[in-house]
Structure 1
Amino acid sequence: MHSVVLTKGVPDFREGQVAFDEDGHLERGNTPTVMNPNDKHALRTALQTKVRHGGQLSVMSMGPPGYGDVLREAMETVYADDLYLLSDRELAASDTWATAITLATGLQKLDDTPDLVFAGFKTADGETGHTGPQACWCLDWPIITHVVALDVDEDEGTVRAKRLVEGDIEEIETVEAPMPAFIVADPEFEPTYRKASHRLTLKDLQAETEERAQDHEEHLTTWDHADLNLDPDYIGLDGSPTIVSSVDPIPKAPAEREATMVDPDDGEEMSEVFEAMQPFAGGRSEAAGD
């Protein structure tokens, strides 16, 4: 059984303001890159599948060479066997459609057709939730979204999932699809390892991957647009029908707490600090007494 997780590097918005160029394109070089937070739900879903059913697990991403660190983190998280990076200047400034075409082509280039492809709910920098479903559309595979529980019947070649349906009330529906298929994990997904054998397998996978992740570049395959035989007119900025009309900066939120600056060398001020903290020392309050 072969599973693939799609992941992406996104700017770490906690590090400060993100810059845009005059055309409204994100200047990623000005902020650190981290793994897209929602992709971690997909990683956990894929890991549960590997623990329960074994097989090969790969991670794929499209982005600049610096995404190698994101893939290394993914290998450590999901105990992946190998990594794939689709990286080329021709791919720069791709919207979700151009990205989906590239990822779908990368999936088709793998030696073995994946049984399952896992994608995150949405990205922190785009918030569209389009890339996974669009890549699936390119491959004409079934897709199950908002997955909160998952199991595979290898003999029947099917995947059965419970998915969250949001309407007037939250409902859970169970659906089944033939493989290969796309799985979009919901943030509510929680992996379960009830069997002792599964927990032991998880421990063994973690041990063997720690060593592999240290030399992750030896397990990394990089393909450019020529390797994928992609027409430059259908990828990157030229192949992206989405146009950014304008970008409005997000104002910094006002501080909700008032802060009093204290000189640590001022004995009187420090005494006031200790008096204010004393009732909470040791987890006790004034109401609890001495």
Structure 2
Amino acid sequence: MRSIVLTKGVPDFSEGAVSFDEDGHLERGKTPTVMNPNDGFAAEAALQTRVRHGGHVSAMSMGPPGYAEVLEEAMESVYADDSYLLSDRELAASDTWATAITLSAGLEKYQEEVGEIDLVFAGFKSADGETGQTGPQTSWALDWPIVTHVIALDIDPDERLLRAKRLVEGDVDEIETVEAPLPCFVVTDPEFEPTYRKASHRLSHKRLRSETQGRASDHEEHLTTWSQEDLNLDPEYIGLDGSPTIVSSVDPIPKAPSEREATMIEFDDDDGMGQVLGEMQPFAASGGDGP
């Protein structure tokens, strides 16, 4: 069983990590880049598949050289054997369509040089663009079947079938069970939860985690970088020139107040502490959210 996990680097939107200019625009150069959070569910699905059925797992991303750190994070998440970075200035400013063309070329080159792929896992949308298009578009470019909003899955190796439970149009109240032949794409839903019911699975999970710790510490030894020339991509179909998306406008991100209003109360201020208790009591009684 050979699987690929597609991942993307996105700005770290956690509090205090994001940097904005004076107009409220995101400053990517000053904001740390992390693995797209939704790709974590794809990594968990790939890891579960490997624990249950064995095989080889690779992580792949398209982006600048700095994305090597994102792939290192992905390796630690999915316990990947190796990783592949598609990186070239010619790929800059790609929209989802040009990104899908590049990723499909990377997957085809992987099959030619490394081995046939059984499954490709992708998160259902990125934290910065939130289009949810790249996984399905990459699947279309390869003409592979795709199953989206997956919340549980397993593989029948003999029949070469994926069996999965998926949310219908993302509705947690409606679930359907589907089958798809391998190779195929899997787009995981945030409701996905891996399961390791057998003792052998839990032992395998522990062993893989231990093996990955050593591998991730020397991540660059397991990283392959492919350029636009390596992928034999036509410049007219990649980067800005190959991106049909037209951005009509960009709205600045509202800046949070630099300071929060706070009332300082000393611990020996009986009236002040009484006021604090009065503010908290309604929420403690009702179980509602605090102020």
**Aligned residue number for residue 271 of structure 1:** 268
Q: CA deviation at 1:30?
A: 2.9
In the alignment, is residue 104 of structure 1 matched against residue 101 of structure 2? no
Change (3 A) 1:7 1:169: closer
Q: CA deviation at 1:259?
A: 1.0
**Aligned residue number for residue 116 of structure 1:** 119
Change (3 A) 1:251 1:231: same
Q: CA deviation at 1:243?
A: 1.3
Partner AA of 1:82 in structure 2: D
C-alpha distance in 2 between matches for 1:255 and 1:66: 30
The answer to whether the 8 A contact 2:19-2:27 is kept is: no
Structure 1 gaps, min length 5: 263-268, 280-284, 286-290
Secondary structure, aligned partner of 2:242 = coil
C-alpha distance in 1 between matches for 2:263 and 2:57: 52
Q: Which runs of 4+ in 1 moved over 2 A?
A: 16-21, 166-170, 252-258, 269-279
Q: CA deviation at 1:170?
A: 2.2
Q: How many residue pairs are counted as aligned between the two chains?
A: 271
**Aligned residue number for residue 72 of structure 1:** 72
Moved more, 85-94 or 27-36: 27-36
C-alpha distance in 2 between matches for 1:106 and 1:87: 11
Partner AA of 1:113 in structure 2: E
- The correspondence of residues 1-290 of structure 1 with structure 2, limited to 5 A, is 1-14=1-14, 15-18=17-20, 28-110=28-110, 111-166=114-169, 170-253=173-256, 258-261=261-264, 269-272=266-269
C-alpha distance in 2 between matches for 1:78 and 1:212: 12
Structure 2 gaps, min length 5: 279-283, 285-291
Change (3 A) 1:221 1:237: same
TM-score computed with the length of structure 2 as normaliser: 0.86
Change (3 A) 1:236 1:36: same
Q: CA deviation at 1:270?
A: 4.6
Secondary structure, aligned partner of 2:50 = helix
The answer to whether the 8 A contact 2:19-2:30 is kept is: no
**Aligned residue number for residue 265 of structure 1:** none
Secondary structure, aligned partner of 2:213 = helix
C-alpha distance in 1 between matches for 2:172 and 2:181: 29
Change (3 A) 1:87 1:164: same
C-alpha distance in 2 between matches for 1:241 and 1:250: 25
TM-score computed with the length of structure 1 as normaliser: 0.87
**What is the identity percentage for the equivalent residue pairs of Structure 1 and Structure 2?**
72
The answer to whether the 8 A contact 1:20-1:27 is kept is: no
Secondary structure, aligned partner of 2:107 = helix
C-alpha distance in 2 between matches for 1:148 and 1:98: 28
